Structure 1
Amino acid sequence: MIDAVGNPQSLLVLGGTSDIALATAQKYADQRPLRIILADRPEEQERLDAAAERLRKTGSTVSILTFDARKPETHAEVIDKAFADGDVDVTLIAFGIQGDNEKGWTDVEAARAVADINYLAPVSLGVLLAEKLRKQGHGNVAVMSSPAGERARRSNFVYGSSKAGLDVFFSGLGYALEEHGVKVTVVRPNFTHTKLTEGMKAAPMANTPESVAEVIVNGVRKGSPLVYAPAQFRFVMSILRHVPRAIFRRLPI
């Protein structure tokens, strides 16, 4: 259960080598030792081991699980194992790929990879999580979405389409789980300096993993259904949503 000041006693990270996810786990662990489950692909074992060792220095108990976003047959097993030792207070869904937009709309396999990893896998895991959380009667889910899903842009519409679907699913899941004592927080960070964006030109109002982690932790604590990082980016997107299409399609974004 989450304690009186809003700190969880257990954290499940799906995408356990994500820079933002690890910064979030570190922030929780710095506030109080907790039980942490890091889950990611078998190929990430070395990075998972290093992350686990670092988090254990806070006094937290850290375990590692493997699953593959593109292999649905691994999804039920990883969720079952994550809940095997007790309730999970906070789950962070933090895996995803950017993909090459030009290849994404001209190559079927490239398009499927983005859709499978960024949308289909989170939906699969979200359904499995919902079953566990309904039974335990409490918990929080935070899922990494993106402002790219709010309106199609020429530069990243393949990625944006996957995040749009994820965003709507988890926003709706929050409505469905509310009566069961479960909160869902959709996180829309602006450009963040991570391994996912390495080599890309930084956008204005760029984040660090630590600044996004701060937003996630505060959003979960408040039970916010939607948060932006940075917070003021909410107003930027509100303006962009209402820019006429003829003008919007010519903006260098």
Structure 2
Amino acid sequence: MTVRGHAGNESGMTSTGSLRSNGVFLRHVRLEPGLETDRYPFTLPVVVHLAASGGLGLETPVTFFVGENGTGKSTLVEAIAVAAGFNPEGGSRSFRFATRATESSLGDHLILRWERKPRTGFFLRAESYYNVASEIERLDQDPYSPPLLPAYGGTSPHERSHGESFLDLVTHRFAPGGLYLLDEPEAALSVRGCMALLARLADLAAQGSQILVATHSPILLALPGARIIEIDEDGTAEAVDYDQALPVRLTRDFLTAPEKYLRHLLDEDEPS
């Protein structure tokens, strides 16, 4: 996939430290050649372009994927996670549970080029983290295994709010020098929670981690030094500046003049 345009985040924010160039483990992703691509998920626009362009390069420690629903950004992140050896429903490479298979087959047909392998990692899939939390509890009850909950903040994720459990995960389980893939982590977070996550991701990147995130959050996209890849509805991928990213433009425009959007979204003539 040829990514055109800017290579970094031009949010105007001042970074507390540059992202380490050696925090890149996964260098390139491409589709296995010779596939029949007339069925899902190979008909997704982003996958069509991935096949046609020869793949996607990952040059920075933090890469964000943005785009409208249905463009395939979450499917792409999930497939990269599966190809890298992570459990499709989320977790580390040692998690091998399954509740209901909803992942696409794309991960079975991706070829990853590594700079070197990370020493740790995790796949956070927001929609199935409840299942991951149940597996954490089950593993922690195994009398023949070391305690697991301390690595997640000491409390079962089921005993915390959804947002608190996400922040516990990235604070206590995510360590320096890891590969972390996150699919829409803002789903459970407040605005303040998104800010806390942004700060934690910046710390991890500065400590030699690589992070790939599918997101709609304009707050997360403000992470200095990150690369933002916007996937259009036709599958074309383009690296964009912070101010040009779709979630930032739409949110900023709405907050500046919500009445302009409400006139189109609501039928003002409808009786109350």
Same structural fold, with TM-score higher than 0.5 when normalized by the shorter chain:
no
Greater RCO, 1 or 2 (C-alpha within 8 Å, sep 6+): 2
Greater fraction helix: 1
